[in-house]
């Protein structure tokens, strides 16, 4: 019953679009669903790293040290603002689809390694997630039982749901690609995406 409650809670939290979901949608549009899977994996791996960091007790350190938290959130926020500026200033190039062999030409737009690094960096850039995991997991852990297996189940469940939902966002972005056949629509999407990234970065830097 506890696990079912946990699934419901984290599903509601993950499905709410944040910077990683926005990036997966953007990469799905620009590079296609298959290529954007690298972005999804990068963001999911970042979540795993933040969980491990939280489990090691660093979440408590961040909660106690305003200097450490402020430094990390400024770096993370500045990176999101940088991504926003890049998207805002990007040339409005409509995605092309057809190739001579019938494959999706968007898949040749960027390397998987680059998209993976972008997804990981966006996912790892929010120190609030460390505090979030530190506050979330204890509510679903039985202190009278071995904690490592319980943590493994909670982490694996998060990773499966996170990967699934971020893949849906990437697929949504890929499916919308043909609607963006006009430069004006691409420009509007780039600026909306850039504005949201800059808003997320500014919100992170202003958070306490």
**Tens-digit pLDDT profile for residues 45-67:** 999 999 888 877 766 666 667 77
| Residue 80 confidence (pLDDT) above 80 | no
For 63, the domain range is 20-77+90-182
Q: Is residue 192 part of a domain?
A: no
Q: Is residue 14 part of a domain?
A: no
Q: Is residue 31 part of a domain?
A: yes
- Using an 8 Å Cβ cutoff, are 21 and 169 in contact? yes
Q: Is residue 208 part of a domain?
A: no
Q: Is residue 52 part of a domain?
A: yes
Q: Rounded to an integer, what distance in angstroms lies between the CA atom of residue 84 and that of residue 77?
A: 11
Q: Is residue 198 part of a domain?
A: no
Burial letters for 123-138: b for 16+ Cβ neighbours within 10 Å, e otherwise? bbbbbbbbbbbbebbe
pTM of the entire structure?
0.73
Q: Which of 53, 42, 199, 204 is nearest to 123 (CA)?
A: 42
Q: Is residue 171 part of a domain?
A: yes
Confidence at residue 159, expressed as pLDDT on a 0 to 100 scale: 94
* Number of domains composing the chain: 1
* Mean per-residue pLDDT, 162-179: 86
Q: Is residue 172 part of a domain?
A: yes
Q: Rounded to an integer, what distance in angstroms lies between the CA atom of residue 8 and that of residue 53?
A: 24
Percent of the chain clearing pLDDT 70 (strictly above): 78
Q: Rounded to an integer, what distance in angstroms lies between the CA atom of residue 154 and that of residue 148?
A: 10
């Amino acid at each position: 019953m506890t696990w079912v409650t946990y699934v419901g809670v984290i599903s509601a939290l993950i499905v709410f679009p944040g910077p990683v979901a926005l990036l997966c949608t953007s990469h799905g549009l620009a590079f296609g669903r298959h290529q954007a899977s690298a972005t999804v994996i990068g963001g999911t791996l970042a979540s795993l790293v933040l969980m491990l960091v939280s489990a090691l007790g660093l979440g408590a350190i961040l909660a106690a040290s305003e200097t450490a938290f402020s430094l990390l959130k400024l770096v993370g926020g500045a990176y999101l603002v940088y991504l926003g500026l890049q998207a805002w200033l990007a040339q409005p190039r409509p995605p092309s689809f057809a190739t001579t062999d019938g494959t999706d030409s968007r898949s040749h737009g960027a390397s998987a390694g680059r998209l993976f690094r972008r997804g990981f960096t966006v996912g790892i850039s929010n120190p609030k997630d460390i505090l979030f995991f530190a506050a979330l997991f204890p509510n679903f852990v039985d202190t009278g039982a071995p904690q490592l297996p319980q943590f493994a189940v909670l982490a694996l469940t998060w990773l499966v749901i996170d990967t699934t939902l971020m893949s849906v966002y990437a697929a949504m972005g890929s499916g919308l690609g043909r609607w963006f056949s006009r430069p004006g629509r691409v420009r509007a999407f780039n600026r909306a995406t850039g504005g949201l990234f800059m808003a997320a970065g500014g919100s992170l830097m202003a958070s306490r």
